[in-house]
């Protein structure tokens, strides 16, 4: 997938390295204090202080750094307050994700009048959204309450390692799928489905959810179709990557991996074959009107 040098979306909220509470906090040595502290350390006065501290340590058996810490105040706190430092690989993944989000904006702005661009939240570990507290284990998700997409980029690594679904376009497909849920929010589909929740049995409702998920796959395909037409971003093997990912994260495969058997009644994402079929239908047609999974006689 060609993505370098293309527009990155500005609708990215980077919450990596933040605790889910979001308030960080805690006292510690502030960066403002570090420079004068270092100057002091290398002055004559500083050498005397270090000497005295070493002497105290020698006489009392205490740690001089702990004494210094007490002097400056507070418990030491590191990553939480000083900001997150991603590895170069991680930052590349974040940049790539921002380009894919921009591509979805370009496509859906043209397809839907008054399209509201969703925000993509990058997080690590746990995140607080209008849908409650979620952990990375949930996988990427869309929260209709705040119209934001939530992704812990380590999911992509896991997709590759545990499900054998690697590749940049496989990752792009996941973003396209979550944006697909946003389209369902905007078109009112999500609301209609939620209204059915209390009126159906659990098994019936799960069947409805399968159609919701397959339609999001279809929308991901529609997005890829139009981005390909305007940018030619796909490279040989990319489509196979996405289809492989769609098939690898089908519920039947996920359940088989987790429990060793398949229980069709609890499917909420669709089988591997269904996911591949709907993504491909969107990709081949690029026509949103073809994505009515709710009235399709055959999934």
Q: How far is the CB of 273 from Zn ion (least distance, A)?
A: 17
Cβ count within 10 A of residue 74: 12
- The minimum distance between CB 89 and Zn ion, in angstroms, equals 26
Picking from 114, 112, 174, the residue whose alpha carbon sits closest to that of residue 149 is 174
Binding-residue total with Zn ion (CB under 5 A): 2
Report the nearest approach of Zn ion to the CB of residue 91 (Å): 26
**Nearest to Zn ion of 213, 241 (CB atom):** 213
> What does the DSSP assignment read for 106-156?
HHHHHHSTT--PPEEEE-SSEEEETTEEEEGGG-SEEETTTTEEEE-THHH
CB nearer to Zn ion: give 90 or 123.
123
Nearer to Zn ion, 98 or 175 (CB): 175
* Spatial contact of 240 and 9, defined as CB atoms under 8 Å apart: no
Q: How many CB atoms lie within 10 A of CB 152?
A: 24
CB 221 within 8 A of CB 278: yes
Q: How far is the CB of 15 from Zn ion (least distance, A)?
A: 21
- Sketch the per residue contact string, 157 through 196, with Zn ion: x for CB under 5 A, - otherwise: ----------------------------------------
CB-based contacts of 96: which residues, under 8 Å, 6+ apart? Answer: 3, 168, 171, 172
* Alpha carbon 79 to its chain's center: 20
Q: Compare residues 98 and 174 and give the one whose CB is closer to Zn ion.
A: 174
Interacting residues with Zn ion between 194 and 223 (CB under 5 A): 213, 216
**Residue 242: helix, strand or coil by DSSP?**
helix
Nearest distance from C-beta of residue 268 to Zn ion, angstroms = 9
Rounded to a whole number of angstroms, the minimum distance from the CB of residue 184 to Zn ion is 9
C-beta of residue 215 within 8 angstroms of C-beta of residue 241: no
Closer residue to Zn ion (CB): 239 or 246 = 246
Cα(226)–Cα(235) distance, integer angstroms = 15
> Between 49 and 190, whose beta carbon lies closer to Zn ion?
190
CB within 8 Å of 296: residues ≥ 6 apart = 211
C-beta closer to Zn ion: residue 138 or 257 = 138
> For residues 25 and 81, is the Cβ–Cβ distance under 8 A?
yes
- Contacts with Zn ion by CB under 5 A lie at 213, 216
């Amino acid at each position: 997938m060609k993505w370098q040098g293309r527009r990155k979306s500005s609708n990215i909220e980077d919450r990596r390295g933040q605790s889910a509470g979001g308030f960080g906090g805690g006292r510690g040595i502030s960066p403002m204090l570090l420079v004068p502290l270092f100057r002091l350390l290398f002055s004559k006065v500083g050498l005397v202080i270090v000497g005295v501290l070493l002497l105290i340590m020698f006489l009392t058996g205490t740690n001089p750094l702990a004494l210094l810490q007490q002097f400056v105040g507070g418990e030491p706190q590191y990553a939480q307050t000083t900001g997150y430092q991603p590895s170069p690989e991680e930052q590349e993944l974040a940049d790539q994700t921002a380009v894919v989000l921009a591509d979805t904006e370009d496509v859906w702005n043209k397809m839907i009048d008054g399209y509201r661009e969703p925000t993509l939240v990058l997080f690590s570990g746990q995140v607080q959204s209008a849908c409650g507290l979620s952990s990375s284990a949930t996988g990427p998700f869309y929260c209709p309450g705040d119209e934001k997409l939530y992704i812990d980029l380590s999911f992509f690594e896991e997709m590759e390692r545990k499900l054998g679904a690697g590749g940049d376009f496989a990752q792009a497909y996941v973003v396209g799928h979550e944006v697909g849920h946003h389209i369902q929010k905007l078109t009112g589909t999500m609301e209609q489905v939620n209204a059915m929740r209390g009126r159906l049995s659990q098994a019936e409702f799960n069947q409805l959810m399968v159609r919701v998920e397959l339609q999001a796959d279809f929308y991901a395909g529609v997005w890829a179709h139009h981005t390909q037409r305007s940018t030619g971003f796909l490279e040989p093997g990319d489509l196979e990557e996405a289809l492989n990912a769609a098939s690898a994260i089908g519920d039947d495969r996920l359940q088989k991996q987790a429990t060793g058997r398949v229980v069709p009644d609890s499917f909420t994402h669709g089988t591997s074959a269904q996911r591949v079929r709907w993504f491909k239908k969107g990709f081949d047609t690029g026509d949103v009107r073809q994505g009515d999974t709710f009235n399709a006689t055959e999934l």
